[in-house]
Amino acid sequence: MLSVSGLGVTLRQRRIVDDVSFEVGDGRVCALIGPNGAGKSTLARAVSGLLPVAAGQVRIDGNPLNVSDRRALARRLAYLPQNTTPVPCSVFDAVLLGRKPHVSWRPGTEDRRMAREVLGEMRLLPLADACVTRVSGGEFQKILIARTLVQGSQVLILDEPINHLDIRNQIEIMGLIARLTQSRGLSTIVVLHDLNLALRYADTVLLIREGRALFCGNSQDISPQDLSRAYDIPIDIREDAQTRHVLY
């Protein structure tokens, strides 16, 4: 379980994240949503240990994160940034790079087995020998997620993993994230802009505005009033037998 209590982040003498608390249980996906400039990426990076915190604490299974030991941190938490530039290498080697926190010199047989297992789980094995720079945008995003999974971390933090992808790839990747989170018992945070995908695939939602939490709880409990207050526009939510739909 990931737990964050009273987290505050100050950058350039300005408080960007202020007193945010939430939990993400094992096998659960938390959607981090909010308008542009709300502090979503800053919060994600602070929880990942990539930014210093001015207040509060981050814990995994009750133990505080030790950001001074980067290798130990990477074994417990995997972070995927918004933008990653592909470099020429095989898909297999790109995924195998995720084992770096566990390898002292060079990858061993077990590291290669784990990389191949994750590639198979994500249906990427046919691309194992392909060059990363020659795959599609959706395939590249799945490769990046595979690399975070092969780290063997309990916590995944994915910052806009479906940005710039078409609808089919967005749905495929969000379904994949939800399925792997549940099957592996992970605690996953996904920064999203699409509110419908957030309600469809996330178990819990953290809605922030100007660095403060406006709503934190079950995705089925967020109200149109919460969303309207955050985005400053009228927003409605309609429900059918299976899904809640956000209407702008």
Each residue of 219-237: pLDDT tens digit? 999 999 999 999 999 999 9
- Give the C-alpha separation, 177 to 103, whole Å: 26
pLDDT for 9 equals 97
pLDDT for 240 equals 83
- Give the C-alpha separation, 112 to 115, whole Å: 5
pLDDT for 103 equals 87
pLDDT for 83 equals 87
Enumerate domains of the chain plus CATH numbers. Answer: 2-82+154-247 (3.40.50.300)
State the 10-residue block means of pLDDT for the chain, 248 residues long: 96 94 97 97 96 94 86 92 91 95 88 94 94 94 94 96 90 93 96 96 97 96 96 93 86
Among 225, 246, 234, 78, smallest CA distance to 151 is for 78
- Give the C-alpha separation, 3 to 79, whole Å: 16
Question: Is-contact 4 20, C-beta < 8 A?
Answer: yes
- Give the C-alpha separation, 187 to 87, whole Å: 29
The count of C-alpha atoms lying within 13 angstroms of the C-alpha of 198, restricted to the half-sphere facing its C-beta, is 25
DSSP code, position 160: S
Q: Which residues are bridge partners to 159 per DSSP?
A: 191
Instruction: Report in angstroms the alpha-carbon separations of 41 from 2, 73, 97.
Output: 17, 19, 24
For 24-42, b/e burial (b = at least 16 CB within 10 A) is beebbbbbbbbbeebbbbb
Among 28, 31, 72, smallest CA distance to 159 is for 31
Residue 23 CB neighbours (<10 A): 16
Q: Tell me the pTM.
A: 0.94
Among 74, 54, 61, smallest CA distance to 23 is for 61
Residue 17 structure tokens? 């994240």
Among 76, 41, 51, smallest CA distance to 186 is for 76
